[in-house]
Amino acid sequence: MADKVLCPVCNTPISSVVQFCPNCGEKIHLQKFRDENLGDLYKILQVDSSAEQDVIGAAYKKLAAKYHPDVNKSSDAKSRMQDLNRAYEILSKPETRRQYDLGVFQMS
């Protein structure tokens, strides 16, 4: 089901061009993932796009230990940690990772 996301209310598959679920009427917020605001999540976690889940988890733990604001006193540590958290949150879940790879994300 390329270019499809699921309705957050009833799990009906939704085309990326539809703004309302045809089943329950829920408004669907769609956003392109690969924009300047989000960046390349694989690059943020320093992993290849074909990386297994355990590799993504290990990369996150390593980078989080390095950039956590309690450890890293650089001025961009907090921002860097927020980027790492967002990248891990999306890539650690198979469904959101699939949506990211398709270039479509469902805002909640």
pLDDT above 90: percentage of residues in the chain: 49
| 91 plus 48 within the same structural domain | yes
Residue 108 lies in a domain: no
Q: CB of 68 within 8 A of CB of 77?
A: yes
**Which pLDDT does position 10 carry in this prediction?**
75
Domain that holds residue 15: 1-31
Task: Categorize the per-residue pLDDT at 93 as very low, low, confident or very high, splitting at 50, 70 and 90.
Answer: very high
pLDDT in tens, 26-63: 766 555 434 445 678 999 999 998 999 999 999 999 99
For 92-108, what is the mean pLDDT?
76
| 16 plus 65 within the same structural domain | no
| 15 plus 43 within the same structural domain | no
Angle at 33 between CA 75 and CA 91, to 5 degrees: 75
Q: How many CA atoms lie within 13 A of 102 on its CB side?
A: 18
Residue 90 lies in a domain: yes
Local structure of 49: helix, strand or coil? coil
- State the total domains in the chain: 2
Q: CB of 14 within 8 A of CB of 99?
A: no
**Which pLDDT does position 87 carry in this prediction?**
93
Nearest Cα residue to 102 out of 3, 1, 15, 7: 3
Residue 64 lies in a domain: yes
Beta bridge partners of 27: 20
Residue 107, pLDDT > 60, answer no
| 70 plus 81 within the same structural domain | yes
Task: For residue 89, give the CATH number of its domain.
Answer: 1.10.287.110
Residue 2, pLDDT > 50, answer no
Pairing of strands 105-107, 29-31: antiparallel
For 77-105, what is the mean pLDDT?
87
| pTM > 0.75 | no
